[in-house]
Chain A
Amino acid sequence: MYGMGVLKGLSVTLKHFVNTYLDDFKYGFLWIGNKRYTTEVLPKRQSAEARGIFTVQYPEEVLKPQERFRFVPFLVYEGSDENREYRCTACGICSKACPPQCIWIVRANDPETGRPLRKPAEFYVDIDICMNCGSCAEFCPFDAIKMDHDFELADYDRTLSHIHDIQRLGKPVEYYARIRPSYHASEQAEILAKADKSARAKG
C-alpha cells in the first residue's frame, strides 16, 4: 500500500522517542526536582547500552574529556606559583617538531658569562595557529610541555590574549597529575626506576 514505507520509517522515530523516556526512568532521571544527571549516571546514559537519545546539558553538566584529549599546550612547572621551576630546558625540540611552527622560544642566557642556560627566558604559543596535534608533547624529552584539557577559552579579543606567554602557559605539576593521572604515574615510576638504577650503579 502506498504510504506504508513512510509509516514504517515513522515507527523508527517513535521507537527512539519512547526509548528516550524509558532510558530516563531507567537511569534515575526523575521528573520533579532532579533536572540533571549525576556524574555517575551520565557516562552510562551515553554508552553503547543506552537505547534512547541523550543530551549533555552543558554548562550545567560537563562531559569530561578523555585522558588523552588535547587542546592547546601548556608548560608543566614544579614548585609554587611565585617560584616556578619549569621542566622546560629550552632545547627547542617542540618548536622544531611543531607542524605549523607556532612555538617560539627564547633561551635564557647567564647574565654574567652570557652562556646559554638550560631554561627558557620567553616561551610563546600562538593559539591562533596551533592545530592541537600534540606533536610538541609527543616529542618533548623532558615531559615539560603537555596538552591541556581546558577548552573554555572563548573571548572577545584575540590581539592580546591569543599569544600565550610563559606566564599564561605555566601550570603546576599537580594540575597535570589531575588531568592525566596515568601518564603522570608512569613518568614518576620511570624517574624512580632511573634513580634506583643509578643509585645501584654507584653503590
Chain B
Amino acid sequence: MSETSQTQATQEPSVLTVQDAYGVLLERFPGQVRMDERQGYEGVLIEADSLLDVASFMRDQLGIRYLSSVTGVDNLPNGQLESVYHAFAGLGPALVFKVQVDRDRPEVPSLVSVWPSADFQERESYDLLGIRYIGHPNLQRILTWEGFHGHPLRKDWHEPYYEEELKPFASRHPDGHVYRAEDRNPFGMNLQYPSDFDPHNWTDIAQAAVYQPLQRTALESRLETETMVINLGPQHPSTHGVLRVVMAVDGETVVDLMPVFGYLHRNHEKIGERCTFPQIMPYTDRLDYICSMSTNLAYALAVEKLTGIRPPERAEYIRVIMAELTRIVNHLLAIGFLWNDVGAFFTPVVYAFNERELILDLFEMAAGSRMMCNYVRVGGVFEDLPDGWMEKARRLVYDRLPRFVDEYERLVVQNEIWRARAIGVGVLPAERAIAVGATGPLLRGSGVPYDIRRVEPYSIYDRFDFDVAVRFNGDVYDRFMIRFDEMRQSLRILRQAMEQIPDGPVQTGKKNYTIKVPPGEAYHRIEAPKGELGFYLVSDGRPNPWRYHVRSTSLINLTSLAEMCRGHKIADVVVILGSIDITLGEVDR
C-alpha cells in the first residue's frame, strides 16, 4: 500500500528560536513576564493575571500551536505552587513557561480556551496538587474521585502506609523485622479518614459528579426523543482495560461522551517521588506495559538530560533496536485489538501474539523478563546482549517480520466489512488534532507529519534513514494503515542499526543504586509507539526527584475521543477508541 502513503521529511521551518521567543515575550509584556533565574531551570515565569493574554499571543503571533504538557510542582519551602507548561512551535526544543501562585490561594487561569489539549492535564493537576484552574469547563477530579480527601501530590499530604519521606526506609536494615503494612493500620487496609468524617451521613457524590457534565447536554438537546446516559466500562469485553466511557445517546447515536479515568490509578508519581532516581526505572515498565522498553528509554533520557551522563555508543544502538522492536510489538497488538473490536474476534490477535512471542523471547533473553523488561539504565543498558541474540534478531527482522507484516495486512485490509466500519469513521481534521494535543499515529493519520524522532532527534535517531509515515484522511482506516507504514519504517531502522552496531562497553561509569543529580529541571520527550511520551523531572540535589511527572500519551490522546465520536453509533465508539490505541496503565498511572 505504499503508493497511497506519502512521506515527508521535514516540517515547515520554525520562524523563531526558543530564545528569540523568550525575548519577544519579555519585550511585549514587561513586568508580567520574567526569566526563570533559578539554577538549572529554564523558561519564563508569567504572572497569573496575564497568563491568558500571553498564551493567546504565543499561539497567534508566535505560532506555538501545540501545548504538550501541563503539570504542577509543589514548592513547599517557598509556600508556592507552580503550574508548568511545555509548548512547541514545530521543530526544536520546548518553550517553557510557568505560573507561580500562593499555596493558600492556588488559582491559575485555565488555558483550555487557548489550547484544548490542556483539558485533562489541568484536571489532573487540580486533582493531585489542588491548583484551581479558573475558567475550566469541567474542573473535576480525574484520577481520584469527587469527595476524596486532600491532594495527594502535595508534599505535606501523607498516604495511609506512610513510612518515611524518602526511600530507602530505615526499617528494612539492619533491624528489619518483617511486618505487613496493613497489620499496622487501624482498619487492616490501606485506609485513612479525615477526623470529621461521618460514615452514616455520607452522600456518594462521586457518581453524580461523573454524570453532571453530560446531563447538561441532555437538557440542551432540542430533539423530541429523550437522551439517555449510559456507561461503557470499566468492565467491558473490548480489550482496552478499565476505561469507563459515559455517553449521552439519542437512540443509537452518540450525542456527547466523556471518558472517566482513575480505575487503574496506581500513584505512580507519588511513589516515584519517594524512590531514588534508579529505583524508578522498574516502575516505568508498568506505565505502558505493552512497550516497557520505550518507557524505560524515555525515563533514562530524561535523567541523562538532567545529569549530563552520556551512554556509550553500543548502548545507544541497543536502545534503538529495543525501542523499534517495541514499536512493532505495540502496533501489532494495536491492530489486533482494533480488529477484535470490529468483530474479527481473536484470529488477528492470535497471529499478532505469535510474532510478539518471538520478540518477547528476544527481550527475555536480553533483559530477563517478557513484559517488564527494566533493561535500560541511566548511562547505558543493563547488560550486553547475550550470545546468539543478534543472530536470532536478524532472522526475525530480515526475514520473518517483513513477511508477516505483509501477510497481516492482506488478512483484513481489503475486507469489505472492515472497510465499511472504518472508512470515514471518527474523522479528526489536522487543525483539531494539533489543538487537542494528539500525537503519534493519531496525529500523523490526520495529515500532520510530526515525528519527534525527526523534529527533535534524541538518542541516535539522526543517523538513520527513515521516512515519517503520514496519511491524510484522519479516519479510523488511516490511523490503522499508518501503523503498517510505521512498522515497515521500524524494520528499516532496525536493519540499519543492526548493520552499524559497534562493539564496546554498554554502561558509562559504575552501576549504583543511587546517582548524583544536580538541582534543576528537565523535560524529555520521545516518540513512543503511541505518541509523545515525556518525563518532567525536578531535582533539588537529593538522590530522589522533587517532582516526577509523566506526560502520558494515552491520556492526552483521549482528549479527542469525544469530538471524534459525536454523531456516530455506539458500536463505532469502541472502534474509534481502538484506533487511538491506549494503555490504561499509562492513562491512569
A and B: partners? yes
Residues of chain A touching chain B, judged by Cβ–Cβ distance below 8 Å, are 2-6, 8-9, 12-13, 15-16, 46-49, 53-54, 65-70, 90, 92-93, 95-99, 101, 103-107, 116, 122, 124, 126, 131-135, 138-139, 147, 163
**Leading 5 A-B pairs by shortest Cβ distance:** A5-B414, A104-B176, A92-B173, A133-B282, A97-B513
Given contacts A5-B415, A9-B414, A133-B282, contact A90 B174 (CB under 8 A): yes
Measured in the bound complex, the distance between the Cα atoms of B344 and A6 in whole Å is 11
The smallest beta-carbon distance between A114 and chain B, in angstroms, is 13
Inter-chain contact A48/B282, CB cutoff 8 Å? no
One digit per residue, 1 when the CB lies within 8 angstroms of any chain A CB and 0 when it does not, for chain B 361-386 equals 10011111100101000000011001
CA distance A4 to B419 in the complex (A): 13
**Residue pair B414, A96 in contact (C-beta under 8 Å):** no
Q: Which of B351, B366, B396, B513 contacts A139 (CB 8 A)?
A: B513
Instruction: Give CA–CA (A111, B389) in the complex, Å.
Output: 51
23 A-B residue pairs with CB within 8 Å:
A5-B418, A6-B415, A6-B416, A12-B410, A68-B366, A90-B173, A96-B172, A96-B513, A98-B172, A99-B283, A101-B167, A103-B172, A105-B174, A106-B177, A107-B174, A122-B176, A126-B180, A132-B369, A132-B372, A134-B368, A135-B278, A135-B279, A163-B178
Known: A5-B414, A9-B411. A133 touches B372 (CB 8 A): yes
Q: If the complex has contacts A2-B416, A53-B350, A101-B167, are A106 and B411 also in contact, measured as CB distance less than 8 A?
A: no
Q: Are B279 and A104 in contact (CB under 8 A)?
A: no
A142 CB to nearest chain B CB (Å)? 15
Could you say which of A93, A105, A131 contacts B176, with CB atoms under 8 Å apart? A105
A47 to B457, CA, bound (A): 34
Q: Is B298 an interface position by the 8 A CB rule?
A: no
Minimum distance in angstroms from A22 CB to a CB of chain B:
16
Q: Check: B347 CB closer than 8 A to any chain A CB.
A: yes
Most B Cβ at <10 Å: residue of A49, A122, A133, A139: A133
Neighbour of A122 across the interface among B177, B386, B512, CB < 8 A: B177
**Smallest CB–CB gap between B325 and chain A, Å?**
13
Which chain B residues numbered 491 to 506 have a C-beta less than 8 Å away from chain A? Answer: none
Contacts of A139 in B (CB 8 A): 511-513
A147 touches B368 (CB 8 A): yes
Closest Cβ–Cβ distance, residue B437 to chain A (whole Å)? 31
Q: Select B400's contact among A16, A48, A134, beta carbons within 8 Å.
A: A48
Question: A48 with B513: in contact, given A9-B410, A104-B178 (CB under 8 Å)?
Answer: no
Pair B411/A12 contact, Cβ less than 8 Å? yes
Residues B511 and A138 in contact, CB atoms below 8 Å apart: yes
Q: Contact check, A93 vs B177: say whether CB atoms are below 8 A apart.
A: no
Q: Which residue of A lies closest to B400 (CB)?
A: A48
Q: Is B280's CB within 8 Å of the partner chain A?
A: yes
Q: Roughly how many angstroms separate A147 CA and B412 CA in the complex, as a whole number?
A: 43
Q: Which residue of A lies closest to B397 (CB)?
A: A48
Q: Contact check, B369 vs A95: say whether CB atoms are below 8 A apart.
A: no
Give the shortest distance, in Å, between A157 (CB) and chain B (any CB): 14
Contact status of A116 and B174, CB under 8 A, knowing A93-B513, A99-B283, A139-B512 = yes
Check B279 against A99 for contact (C-beta < 8 Å).
yes
Contacts of A103 in B (CB 8 A): 172-173, 176
Question: Once the chains bind, are B351 and A16 in contact (CB under 8 Å)?
Answer: yes
Contact A68 B172 (CB under 8 A): no
Q: In the bound complex, how far is the Cα of B173 from the Cα of A98, in angstroms?
A: 12
Residues on A with C-beta less than 8 A from B416 are 2-3, 5-6
**Cβ distance B103 to chain A, nearest Cβ, rounded Å:** 30
Q: What's the Cα separation between A139 and B510 when bound, in Å?
A: 11
A49 to chain B, nearest CB (A): 7
Q: How far is the CB of A149 from chain B (nearest CB, A)?
A: 10
* B365:A68 contact, CB within 8 angstroms: yes
Known: A12-B411, A95-B176, A133-B285. 12 other contacts (CB 8 A): A4-B414, A46-B358, A47-B395, A67-B386, A95-B172, A95-B173, A96-B172, A99-B281, A104-B176, A106-B175, A126-B178, A134-B369
Distance of A61 from chain B, by nearest CB (Å): 15
Cβ contacts under 8 Å, A15 to chain B: 407
Q: Which residues of B contact A122 (CB under 8 A)?
A: 176-178
Look across to chain A and name the residue whose beta carbon is closest to the beta carbon of B172: A95
Q: Are A135 and B282 in contact (CB under 8 A)?
A: yes
For B465, the chain A residues whose CB sits under 8 A away are: none
Are the C-beta atoms of B512 and A69 separated by less than 8 Å? no
> Which B residues are in CB contact (< 8 Å) with A131?
282-283, 286, 372
**B169 at the A interface (CB under 8 A):** yes
B186 shortest CB reach to chain A, Å: 19
Docked-complex contact A69 and B172, CB < 8 angstroms: no
User: Any chain A CB within 8 A of the CB of B251?
Assistant: no
With A66-B368, A104-B172 known as contacts, the answer to whether A5 contacts B419 (CB < 8 A) is yes
The answer, yes or no, to whether B417 is at the interface (CB within 8 Å) is yes
Per the bound structure, the CA–CA distance linking A96 and B369 in Å amounts to: 22
Complex contacts, A104 vs chain B, CB 8 Å: 172-173, 176-178
B-side contacts of A66, CB under 8 Å: 361, 364-365, 368
